[in-house]
Amino acid sequence: MTLTLQLPDRVAALLQRAWDDLPRATLESLAVEAYRSGKLSCTQVGEMLCHASRWESEDFLAAHGMWPGTTVEWLV
């Protein structure tokens, strides 16, 4: 699926300066939020981000404050 986002030019410019690869940063942010909210599993995050292994997905989630297994249900 291809998604298109429409952002105001000023906002887009700010985000582009903050992240060298804005499309990748957006995709990663979506993956983290989907995992955090219980919409995607660690395996699905890896598939979404084309990770080579489960370990890469777990490292990615841990680097973004979401230790694998830390979902909304677990935090409550």
pLDDT of res. 69 = 60
pLDDT tens per residue, range 5-37 = 999 999 999 999 999 899 999 999 999 999 999
Domain boundaries, the chain: 20-75
pLDDT of res. 66 = 87
Contacts of residue 46, Cβ cutoff 8 Å, sequence gap at least 6? 53, 54, 56, 57, 60
Residue 35 near residue 66 (C-beta atoms within 8 A): yes
pLDDT of res. 67 = 76
0.85 surpassed by pTM: no
Instruction: Answer whether residue 76 shows pLDDT above 50.
Output: no
Instruction: Answer whether residue 75 shows pLDDT above 50.
Output: no
